[in-house]
Amino acid sequence: MTKISVIIPCYNCAPVIGRCLDSIDYPDAEIIVVNDGSKDESAHIVEQYIHSHEQMKNVVLLNKPNGGVSSARNLGIKHATGTYIVFIDADDYLMADGLTRMVEMAEKVNADVVLYQANYTTEQKLVPIRSVGNDTIRSTVYASGREVLRHFDIPDYYVWDAVYSRQMLVDNHLICREDLHLHEDDVFKGEVYSVAGKVVVTDLRLYCYVQASSQSSTHRQSIERQRILMDSCWRAVQHRKEFILNRCPELMDYERLRYMRWVCPPPMGISAQMSLEEYRTYLEKFRELGVYPLSYKWIRSVHWYATPKMRLKDAIKTFLTNHPRLGYWFYQHR
């Protein structure tokens, strides 16, 4: 059986898809490129790789009408046959031997999830694809994903920074939400952690995330997009609250701390040129979900393990968010 399936959603990524494919060096990896209705030469470039690169014999190209990154990932999950699944965005790439290390760590403890670190870079200053084969593995093994949800400082907002047991995804019917245009990663990762068995968290940098790429969806931050982002924040909280209450209600206070990154958006509101009144309307929507106003008690009782700097930062964010007028004034004059 194929050990790992690599799922690559691709939309208008002709300039960078080759770099992504070249970085996949795991023997016999099943590589599933989902062409999400690209209007450029992306699909043609992948076809050329399949026919002209011997090491690309395991590449599968799936073509579909444009439906967004979640629908592309879900189609990849449906066709995957590997023991493990990993997602790579087409404008990103892997470090050499990265997939090998992922599989090693997963198999060593029979983990459902291996969470790793990423190099953050730009098109103008790409990180060299060096081998991580001899890097020392420093990692923590958590008995369950629920333990991970207790840690505010363990990221859960990217799909691509982890390798997943395919059987875990299938058994729990876990897919990416196609009704969310943004923050779909947060909901997917939260659902994964709410059902996962062992989770390995390592500091190995196995992935290279290319920030502000012209091909990246995160690069486009129009006023309209900022408003969509705020609405997606609210809908993501809805989804997360639902499965947390159903599967692990004892973790709700920890979840409220995670919501701070969504409930504290004065900078986002200012970027979207919102009035204070419109921003307050968004806050009221969070109030209806029971996650606003934020409570200092949550920080004191739940967040003690964090560093003093983190505690102070979160306390300030809580104060400013609970006083919208003051928060707006503060962020406008930074």
- pLDDT tens series, the chain, 334 aa: 679 999 999 999 999 999 999 999 998 899 999 999 999 999 999 999 888 866 667 899 999 999 999 999 999 999 999 999 999 999 999 999 999 999 999 999 999 999 999 999 999 899 999 999 989 989 999 999 999 998 877 878 899 999 999 999 999 999 999 988 778 999 999 999 999 999 999 999 999 999 864 444 444 457 777 777 778 888 888 999 999 999 999 988 788 777 766 666 566 677 777 788 888 888 888 888 887 887 776 666 555 445 555 567 767 777 877 888 888 888 777 6
Angle between helices 276-288 and 223-247 (to 10 degrees): 20
Q: Which long-range contacts (CB under 8 A, 24 or more apart) does 320-327 make?
A: 320/264, 320/266, 321/260, 321/263, 321/264, 321/266, 321/283, 321/292, 321/293, 321/294, 322/293, 322/294, 324/266, 324/276, 324/279, 324/280, 324/283, 325/276, 327/264, 327/266
Residue 112 is classified by DSSP as S
Single-letter code of the amino acid located at 101: R
Q: Which residues pair with 31 in a beta bridge?
A: 6, 59
Vertex 118: Cα angle to 115 and 121 (nearest 5): 165
Judge contact between 209 and 120, C-beta under 8 A: yes
The whole-number pLDDT of residue 83 equals 97
Angle at 212 between CA 5 and CA 138, to 5 degrees: 50
pLDDT at 213: 47
Q: Are residues 243 and 299 in contact, defined by beta-carbon separation less than 8 angstroms?
A: no
Q: What is the C-alpha to C-alpha distance for residues 178 and 163, in angstroms, rounded to an integer?
A: 21
Q: Are 50 and 18 in contact (CB under 8 A)?
A: no
Q: In the chain, where are the structural domains located?
A: 4-215, 221-332
Would you give the DSSP letter of residue 56? G
CATH superfamily of 4-215: Spore Coat Polysaccharide Biosynthesis Protein SpsA; Chain A (3.90.550.10)
Omega before residue 267 within 30° of 0, cis: no
What global pTM score does this model have? 0.88
Cα gap 58→261, rounded to integer Å? 40
CB of 12 closer than 8 Å to CB of 45: no
Q: Burial, 117: exposed, middle or buried (Cβ in 10 Å; 0-12, 13-18, 19+)?
A: middle
List, in order, residues 6 or more apart from 80 with CB less than 8 Å away. 5, 7, 30, 32, 166
- Is residue 194 a contact partner of residue 145, using CB atoms and an 8 Å limit? yes
